[in-house]
Amino acid sequence: MSEMLIDQRNLAFELYEVLDAEGLTQRPRFADHNRETFDAAIGTARTIAEKLFAPHNRKSDENEPKYVDGAAELIPEVKPAVDAFLEAGFLNATRTFEQGGMQMPNLLSQACFAHFQSANAATSSYPMLTMGAANLIENFGTEEQKERFLQPMIEGRFFGTMALTEPHAGSSLSDIRTKAEPAADGSYRLKGNKIFISGGDHPLSENIVHMVLAKLPDAPPGVKGISLFIVPKFLVNDDGSLGERNDVVLAGLFHKMGWRGTTSTALNFGDKDNCVGYLVGKPHQGLACMFQMMNEARIGVGMGAVMLGYAGYLYSLNYARERPQGRLPDGKDPTAPQVSIIEHTDVKRMLLAQKSYVEGAFDLGLYAARLFDDTETLETEAERKTALELLDLLTPIVKAWPSDYCLKANELAIQILGGHGYTREYPVEQYYRDNRLNPIHEGTNGIQSLDLLARKVVMNNGSALKQLSALIQATCKQAAAHAELNELREPLEKLLAHLGKVTVALLGDLGQGKVNEAVANSALYLKAFGHMVIGWRWLQQAVHAQKGLSKGVEADVAFYQGKLQAARYFLLWEVPSCHHDLNVLENRDATCLDMQDEWF
């Protein structure tokens, strides 16, 4: 079963061959760790995910949260699962020993958390949202706020949410209308409505701490007038005990296509004009605070998409091995036994595509997590800043690419199971429904494409893209040492060169103020850029597979051959498809830009 969550050989390959997790233990912060402590944490995550998360994944899909007397009810299996997660310390894996954490690298924390995301996307959301909210208070809250709200969150007694979206303001946060009026005691009174708030109500914790975006009376218009507030479900007394119910009300639940076990709520703040909130950070700086947490949140979403894709891949792989059907095209004898469908080339194609998507994106997600460690634990500030720049650049890819292509993987998993895959008797259809959320939340993929092209590529005179190009070239250089990899390296080099050329052209247009024209086809740029990044990660994996093969360990040969073949699939079948996208960009094709409402 653990192999159905994540292939453990592949996880070890990522951590100890590709990403050098052990190298992190040289850094003072992680000096108490070693491969044994890492593996022990992963083993615990695996056990809890298997025993307490996976078993109710279908049940919570079929029994979505209910609105009863103003509160959300969940199936009873969710709380023991989350409690075990908390007890094992995964909520605070990266916090210091002093804070009661495990002082683990983010890389390992993500690797552990991936097991929960694969086993049960919905249940794992509750702690994930809490981590996000806690990190906001940790980074921007006052000491008093930390004591009153963060400490109980670390202890797992309070959970958290992120309350951004309003009925008329989703992608365009500058248009939110929730108001926050200062009160005499230094706190604020909030009034407004939020929708799509995940985990906005549930019976899993004593209290829920909503991190709410709202506008102060003197707010300038637009995104520069948004402030961040703590709004607890129950007020907290000075001694830490729970006070009265705050004026935040569960107005209703949304009923989703998938990811049903996570409550998606409509919350009303201040219906009785008495919703108490506390300003976090400076006035009007709320969105900046949120954005500083975006990298982490978006790695989380991207990894969530990966893990649903991964679960479907492993399930369909197992099915393809066990399901006999038909004979090979040249097998004319109908009395010969049927072959397993994994013998059919088109099924191999669908498995290889899935493998290339999910293992490529898994590698990228963990790479980004390690980069996050670099931003915090590299020795000099300059190094940390360089790492942050790269992470900023990669974040839209880490979020968007898996949410597009691991959804596609889930579509292929259903196809492999055929009619069975379309029934709710098998898990793959749920993965597909669950994963459809990921291209939408935490910034739609359209928003990610604008973020990539108009912000990340441009920033600091394009220095992040230069850094990435140098890293890709370095990997190509490593690959050039292996003649077997020539065929795989060349498509990546070609794409890198083409994308570079197109980038210069588009930035030239931006420089000339042709903003609408330059970003018109940003979706294609996101796709080509994402394929370049995943192609790079596959070439890097192929280099390590070659190294591994050269050690001559018999038991590992098939594993490394599989890596090389998946790399081959991605670099020969997928990467070259992007030249067409880049051609469209290069031609400044205006087909979409020119389209008129009344022509539809």
Q: Which residues are catalytic?
A: 442
- Helix residue ranges, H only, 66-220: 78-87, 106-119, 121-140, 143-145, 151-154
* CA 201/CA 69 separation, integer angstroms: 12
Per CB under 8 A, the list member of 34, 96, 423, 486 interacting with a second copy is: 423
Smallest gap, in angstroms, from Cβ of residue 114 to a second copy?
A: 19
- Judged by CB under 8 A, the chain residues 376 through 415 that form the site for a second copy are 411, 414-415
Residue type, 404: D
* CA 552/CA 571 separation, integer angstroms: 25
Give the residue with the Cβ less far from a second copy, 144 or 425.
425
Give the residue with the Cβ less far from a second copy, 76 or 324.
324
- Judged by CB under 8 A, the chain residues 248 through 277 that form the site for a second copy are 254-258, 264
User: Does residue 238 interact with a second copy by CB under 8 A?
Assistant: no
Candidate segments 51-59, 297-305, 346-354, 471-479, binder of a second copy by CB under 8 A: 346-354
Residue type, 190: L
* Inter-residue contact 209 to 300 (CB < 8 Å): no
* Inter-residue contact 376 to 440 (CB < 8 Å): no
Spell out the residues 6+ positions from residue 349 whose beta carbon is closer than 8 angstroms to its own.
none
User: Does residue 199 interact with a second copy by CB under 8 A?
Assistant: no
Give the residue with the Cβ less far from a second copy, 184 or 595.
595
Give the residue with the Cβ less far from a second copy, 295 or 448.
448
Per CB under 8 A, the list member of 28, 70, 217, 419 interacting with a second copy is: 419
Give the residue with the Cβ less far from a second copy, 29 or 579.
579
Q: Per-residue DSSP letters for 117-146?
A: HHH-HHHHHHHHHHHHHHHHHHHH--HHHI
210-229 mask for a second copy (x: CB under 8 A)?
Answer: -----------xxx------
Smallest gap, in angstroms, from Cβ of residue 252 to a second copy?
A: 10
Per CB under 8 A, the list member of 96, 345, 486, 512 interacting with a second copy is: 345
Smallest gap, in angstroms, from Cβ of residue 536 to a second copy?
A: 19
* CA 206/CA 157 separation, integer angstroms: 6
User: Does residue 421 interact with a second copy by CB under 8 A?
Assistant: yes
Give the residue with the Cβ less far from a second copy, 371 or 578.
578
Give the residue with the Cβ less far from a second copy, 195 or 391.
195
- Judged by CB under 8 A, the chain residues 451 through 510 that form the site for a second copy are 454
* CA 581/CA 587 separation, integer angstroms: 10
- Judged by CB under 8 A, the chain residues 545 through 574 that form the site for a second copy are 558-559, 561-562, 565, 568-569, 572-573
Smallest gap, in angstroms, from Cβ of residue 553 to a second copy?
A: 15
218: number of Cβ within 10 Å: 9
User: Does residue 153 interact with a second copy by CB under 8 A?
Assistant: no
Per CB under 8 A, the list member of 334, 483, 551, 552 interacting with a second copy is: 334
Candidate segments 268-276, 322-330, 374-382, 456-464, binder of a second copy by CB under 8 A: 322-330
* Inter-residue contact 315 to 414 (CB < 8 Å): no
Smallest gap, in angstroms, from Cβ of residue 223 to a second copy?
A: 7
Which residue has tokens 């220095």?
Answer: 463
- Extract the tokens encoding 348: 């191999």
Smallest gap, in angstroms, from Cβ of residue 48 to a second copy?
A: 27
- Judged by CB under 8 A, the chain residues 279 through 308 that form the site for a second copy are none
- Judged by CB under 8 A, the chain residues 65 through 94 that form the site for a second copy are none
- Judged by CB under 8 A, the chain residues 571 through 600 that form the site for a second copy are 572-573, 576-577, 579-580, 583-584, 589, 591-600
Helix axes 428-435, 294-322, angle to 10 degrees: 160
- Judged by CB under 8 A, the chain residues 165 through 194 that form the site for a second copy are 165, 168-172, 174-175
Give the residue with the Cβ less far from a second copy, 135 or 438.
438
* Inter-residue contact 49 to 115 (CB < 8 Å): yes
User: Does residue 424 interact with a second copy by CB under 8 A?
Assistant: yes
50: number of Cβ within 10 Å: 16
Per CB under 8 A, the list member of 280, 352, 452, 502 interacting with a second copy is: 352
Residue 552 to residues 512, 549, 558, 568, Cα–Cα distance (Å): 57, 6, 11, 21
Residue 387's nearest CA partner among 399, 404, 373 is: 373
| Vertex 455: Cα angle to 405 and 570 (nearest 5) | 25
Which residue has tokens 């997660």?
Answer: 85
DSSP state of 32: T
Residue type, 318: N
- Extract the tokens encoding 188: 């604020």
Smallest gap, in angstroms, from Cβ of residue 19 to a second copy?
A: 22
Candidate segments 185-193, 204-212, 235-243, 427-435, binder of a second copy by CB under 8 A: 427-435
Please give the size of the binding site for a second copy, defined by CB under 8 A.
Answer: 101
SS3 category, 248: strand
Give the residue with the Cβ less far from a second copy, 1 or 328.
328
Smallest gap, in angstroms, from Cβ of residue 570 to a second copy?
A: 10
Give the residue with the Cβ less far from a second copy, 16 or 573.
573
Per CB under 8 A, the list member of 228, 409, 523, 533 interacting with a second copy is: 523
* CA 481/CA 536 separation, integer angstroms: 16
Smallest gap, in angstroms, from Cβ of residue 250 to a second copy?
A: 16
Smallest gap, in angstroms, from Cβ of residue 532 to a second copy?
A: 15
Per CB under 8 A, the list member of 88, 235, 288, 342 interacting with a second copy is: 342
* Inter-residue contact 53 to 120 (CB < 8 Å): yes
Spell out the residues 6+ positions from residue 543 whose beta carbon is closer than 8 angstroms to its own.
475, 478, 479, 482, 485
* CA 442/CA 447 separation, integer angstroms: 9
Smallest gap, in angstroms, from Cβ of residue 422 to a second copy?
A: 5
Per CB under 8 A, the list member of 187, 340, 386, 467 interacting with a second copy is: 340
R_g over Cα of the chain: 24
Give the residue with the Cβ less far from a second copy, 259 or 278.
259
Smallest gap, in angstroms, from Cβ of residue 293 to a second copy?
A: 20
Give the residue with the Cβ less far from a second copy, 157 or 420.
420
* CA 237/CA 212 separation, integer angstroms: 20
* Inter-residue contact 179 to 191 (CB < 8 Å): yes
